[in-house]
């Protein structure tokens, strides 16, 4: 159970709200319509493939994850279907369908 | 009936965002339920989902609050989880930076993973979209997901104990991100960038407060851009 006082809870909520907004607003607010240099634009094109795998990997493998062969298998299927069909929906349905389907069968 | 180009893009965005709803709905309901079971009241739970609107940071904060971590640590950790969104902000700025300050501020409020991921794919594929079409698409993804996030958090908070919180829904989050990234692995540069990202984040997992993620992501950006320029040089030489 949370033992923090209502004041502490609201400090956390408001602090997270302001901090998160400032992070998201950073470049949008400060740079706006000023042109960015070409080398930076080239770098930024890679943000999804550079950031999202680093978010996902620790959830599936590594010290803090409860590594589970079923999850790893379903994650691999999601990647294969995603690369093959180039379709986000099919990849999600394949990965989650297999996870809950096999989970039910295997108990 | 014919819609304006911006409205058409809004509808396209809403449609492309549909797969994410499979994940967002249970995720939001479970956040609401866990938060209520941990002792937060409905107003506090909704404060998180409406003011912060960042699922993984909210769950991280909740976990630390349940462990009675100091307020400063809760804030620092939750914000570290969200630092990747600074990169989203940079990446989306060349596309919608010309919008008014108020529009940019609203877009920033909604700059969570899904609208960012879908919009960056769309804008790379169709660079000739006008500013209003780009904004239409971005908000078409973002607004329905935001509304679903509020409503399902509320449902979870009100139903509380009736929601099963241990059905493996945590697995839906990595699956969604993998499903977004996989179709983007179309060049050697993209594959190299993604592999760098995975290997480094695991090697750097000893670093505190998710800072390893930022180092891994920046290195992966550099690798992607470097491999791209190598491939261009090889092509030019051949």
Distance in Å, alpha carbon of A94 to nearest chain B alpha carbon: 10
Whether B143 and B65 share a structural domain: yes
Give the pLDDT band of residue B109 (cuts 50, 70, 90): very high
Whether B62 and B37 share a structural domain: yes
The answer to whether B194 touches A53, Cβ cutoff 8 Å, is yes
Give the pLDDT band of residue B1 (cuts 50, 70, 90): low
Whether B76 and B149 share a structural domain: yes
Distance in Å, alpha carbon of B66 to nearest chain A alpha carbon: 5
Q: What is the structure's pLDDT at A65?
A: 66
Whether B190 and B178 share a structural domain: no
- Name the residue facing A55 among B84, B193, B221 (closest C-beta): B84
Whether B220 and A81 lie within 8 Å, measured CB to CB: no
- In terms of CA atoms, which chain A residue is nearest residue B180? A88
The answer to whether B57 touches B79, Cβ cutoff 8 Å, is yes
Better-scored residue on pLDDT, A56 or B15: B15
The pTM score is 0.81
Whether B13 and B131 share a structural domain: yes
Whether B73 and B189 share a structural domain: no
Lowest mean pLDDT among A13-27, B45-59, B60-74, B142-156: B60-74
Distance in Å, alpha carbon of B157 to nearest chain A alpha carbon: 15
Whether B227 and B115 share a structural domain: no
- Name the residue facing B221 among A21, A46, A53 (closest C-beta): A46
- Name the residue facing A58 among B39, B111, B201 (closest C-beta): B201
Q: Domain range holding B232?
A: 185-238
Most confident of A34-38, B28-32, B171-175: B28-32
Whether A103 and B87 lie within 8 Å, measured CB to CB: no
pLDDT at B102 over 80: yes
Average pLDDT score, chain B: 90
Give the pLDDT band of residue B108 (cuts 50, 70, 90): very high
d(CA B40, CA B158): 11
ipTM computed for the complex: 0.84
Choose the mutation target among B70, B95, B118, B181 for the interface with A, i.e. most A CBs under 10 Å.
B181
Better-scored residue on pLDDT, A92 or B44: B44
d(CA B21, CA B118): 13
Which DSSP helix (H) or strand (E) runs through B34?
A: helix B18-37
Better-scored residue on pLDDT, B79 or B106: B106
Q: What is the structure's pLDDT at B66?
A: 85
Distance in Å, alpha carbon of A88 to nearest chain B alpha carbon: 5
| Phi and psi, residue B155, nearest 5° | -60, -45
Whether B155 and B189 share a structural domain: no
Q: What is the structure's pLDDT at A107?
A: 63
Q: Name the percent of chain A lying above pLDDT 90.
A: 41
Whether B119 and B202 share a structural domain: no
Which residues in A lie closer than 8 A to residue B13 (C-beta atoms)? none
d(CA A98, CA A103): 8
Lowest mean pLDDT among A25-29, A62-66, B93-97: A62-66
In this structure, which long-range contacts are made by residues A84-92, counting pairs with CB atoms below 8 Å and at least 24 apart in sequence? A85/B183, A86/B183, A87/B183, A88/B16, A88/B19, A88/B179, A88/B180, A88/B183, A89/B18, A89/B19, A89/B179, A91/B175, A91/B178, A91/B179, A91/B182, A91/B183, A92/B19, A92/B22, A92/B23, A92/B175, A92/B176, A92/B179
pLDDT digits (tens, 9 = 90+) for B224-233: 999 999 998 9
Q: What is the structure's pLDDT at A8?
A: 95
pLDDT at B89 over 90: yes
Whether B175 and B211 share a structural domain: no
Whether B17 and B96 share a structural domain: yes
Average pLDDT score, chain A: 88
Give the pLDDT band of residue A64 (cuts 50, 70, 90): low
The answer to whether B111 touches B85, Cβ cutoff 8 Å, is yes
Whether B179 and B118 share a structural domain: yes
Give the pLDDT band of residue B81 (cuts 50, 70, 90): confident
Count of domains for chain B: 2
Whether A31 and B54 lie within 8 Å, measured CB to CB: no
**Of B138, B168, B183, which residue is a domain's last?**
B183
| Phi and psi, residue A104, nearest 5° | -70, -40
pLDDT digits (tens, 9 = 90+) for A73-94: 999 999 999 999 988 888 988 9
pLDDT digits (tens, 9 = 90+) for B197-216: 999 999 998 887 667 888 89
pLDDT at A66 over 70: no
């Amino acid at each position: 159970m949370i033992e923090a006082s209502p004041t502490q809870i609201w400090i956390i909520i408001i602090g997270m709200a302001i901090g998160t907004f400032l992070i998201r607003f950073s470049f949008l607010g400060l740079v706006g319509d000023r042109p960015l240099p070409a080398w930076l634009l080239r770098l930024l094109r890679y943000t999804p493939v550079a950031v999202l795998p680093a978010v996902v990997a620790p959830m599936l493998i590594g010290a803090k994850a409860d590594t589970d062969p079923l999850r790893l298998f379903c994650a691999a299927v999601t990647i294969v279907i995603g690369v093959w069909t180039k379709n986000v929906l099919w990849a999600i349905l394949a990965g989650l369908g297999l996870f809950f389907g096999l989970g039910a069968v295997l108990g | 009936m014919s819609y304006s180009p911006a409205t058409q893009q809004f509808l396209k965005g809403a449609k492309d965002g549909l797969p994410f709803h499979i994940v967002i709905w249970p995720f939001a309901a479970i956040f609401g339920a866990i938060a209520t079971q941990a002792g937060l009241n409905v107003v506090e739970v909704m404060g998180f989902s409406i003011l912060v609107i960042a699922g993984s940071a909210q769950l991280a904060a909740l976990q630390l609050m349940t462990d009675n971590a100091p307020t400063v640590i809760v804030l620092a950790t939750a914000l570290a989880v969200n630092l990747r969104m600074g990169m989203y902000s940079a990446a989306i700025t060349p596309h919608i930076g010309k919008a008014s300050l108020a529009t940019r501020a609203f877009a920033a409020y909604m700059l969570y993973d899904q609208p960012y991921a879908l919009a960056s794919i769309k804008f790379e594929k169709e660079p000739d979209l006008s500013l209003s079409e780009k904004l239409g698409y971005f908000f078409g993804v973002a607004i329905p997901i935001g509304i679903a996030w509020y409503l399902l958090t509320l449902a979870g908070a009100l139903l509380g104990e009736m929601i099963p919180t241990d059905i493996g829904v945590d697995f839906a989050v990595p699956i969604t991100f993998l499903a977004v990234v996989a179709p983007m692995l179309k060049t050697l540069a993209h594959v190299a960038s993604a592999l760098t990202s995975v290997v480094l984040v695991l090697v750097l997992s000893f670093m505190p407060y998710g800072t390893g993620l930022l180092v891994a992501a920046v290195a992966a950006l550099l690798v992607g851009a470097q491999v791209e320029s190598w491939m261009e040089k090889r092509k030019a030489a051949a």
